[in-house]
Amino acid sequence: MKKYAAELIGTFVLVFGGCGAAVLAGSHIGFAGVAFAFGFSLLVMAYAIGPISGCHINPAVTVLDTEKIDDFEGCLSIPDMRGSVPRFKKLHVKALGRNGETLDFIAEDFHARVIQHETDHLKGEVYLDRMPDMRTLAHLSEWQRYVLPAMHRQDGEDEKD
């Protein structure tokens, strides 16, 4: 639970520290100020909660499989909403860990989706920016009521084939 709380705090600070600076003061502080806000937020969070949560600093992501998989995503930045987002199936990731160690790994399927979702935040994007069809966007309660049962029915049919 401690790790999840640290991730929540870290994401909050990065989104509101970096994106907040861009949105609220971008015209006053310029590109350098926005870059400083993101860098400062990242530095503070790496020292404050890095030992608890872990992190990937300056990730370099290379697509290894161009096949995209459509699946539903949600985000703490957009609470209680879900939407269908196509993401690459397999990635190669190089980054620095919380202690400055080199990380070099392959991410597939759900792990690859999470890496892409989080690196979008580093670029100031959210999953809505990746949705090709906004008609799939749904409030969580409606998604749970209508979409999730349909997905389970479809999974059951796939297993019978």
The one-character DSSP state at 137 is -
**Listed residue (68, 71, 66) closest to 155, CA to CA:** 71
Q: Is 73 one of the annotated active-site residues of the chain?
A: no
Catalytic residue among 101, 108, 118, 157: 118
Rounded distance, CA 154 to CA 157, Å? 5
Q: What residue spans of the chain are helical by DSSP H?
A: 2-14, 20-53, 109-122, 140-142, 148-160
Rounded distance, CA 42 to CA 48, Å? 10
Query: Would you please indicate which residues are annotated as catalytic (active-site) residues?
Result: 118
